[in-house]
Amino acid sequence: MALYHPYSPLHIFFRRLLALTLGVLLFPLMLRRRQRTRCYSYLHRYWSKTSEKPVWLSQAESTGAYYY
């Protein structure tokens, strides 16, 4: 029994399409804001998520072999 279930390719496509659309729409507003890095960090995390597993956990598991 899997603990985290992967999203379907169609679900991932629509998530990334939404992240891209929001990034393009928010770009003019974020040019003069001080917290634009936080906004684009959230968008990157939304883009990177391909399953129910937290993004930080999947990234830590993928880079674990480099440190051990």
- Taking only Cα atoms into account, the Rg of the chain, rounded to an integer number of angstroms, comes to 15
Count Cα neighbours of 8 within 13 Å in the Cβ-side half-sphere.
Answer: 3
- Provide the whole-model pTM: 0.74
pLDDT tens sequence across 4-59: 888 899 999 999 999 999 999 988 888 888 888 888 888 988 888 888 888 888 77
| Eight-class DSSP state of 31 | T
